Amino acid sequence: MYPDYLIKSDIDNINLTDLQSESGDNMTTEKFLSSCNACGGNWTAMLLSGIKTSFPDTYDKLDPNKKFTFIEVVEILQKLGVEL
């Protein structure tokens, strides 16, 4: 589903149940956004900061050289079960 350049390993192979248990059941938008850091109006960076806080195993698998689009980050959050 995700192109090779998006993440180091295939996100479909990540055990999403284990990742979600790190931060509770399916996370509401409000709860997720409260884990994000404001990044001067850069919503993509803000959402990535929330992934780093709430889903550190997934964040560690993201390619640090990739410039993610907002839509790509939203797709990752949906895959993780964040209710958007």
Number of domains in the chain: 1
Residue 3 inside a domain? The answer is no
Enclosing domain of residue 38: 11-80
Computed over every residue of the chain, the mean pLDDT equals: 77
Confidence at 63, pLDDT banded by 50, 70, 90 = confident
Residue 1 inside a domain? The answer is no
Residue 40 inside a domain? The answer is yes
Instruction: Specify the pTM.
Output: 0.70
Establish how many alpha carbons lie within 13 A of residue 21's alpha carbon, considering only the half-sphere containing its beta carbon: 4
Residue 42 inside a domain? The answer is yes
Residue 34 inside a domain? The answer is yes
pLDDT value of position 52: 93
Residue 17 inside a domain? The answer is yes
Compute the CA torsion angle 52, 59, 2, 76 (nearest 10 deg): -30
Q: Give the tens place of pLDDT for each residue, 29-59.
A: 898 999 999 888 899 999 999 999 998 988 9
Q: Among 10-19, 39-48, 62-71, 72-81, which is the least confidently predicted range?
A: 10-19
Residue 26 inside a domain? The answer is yes
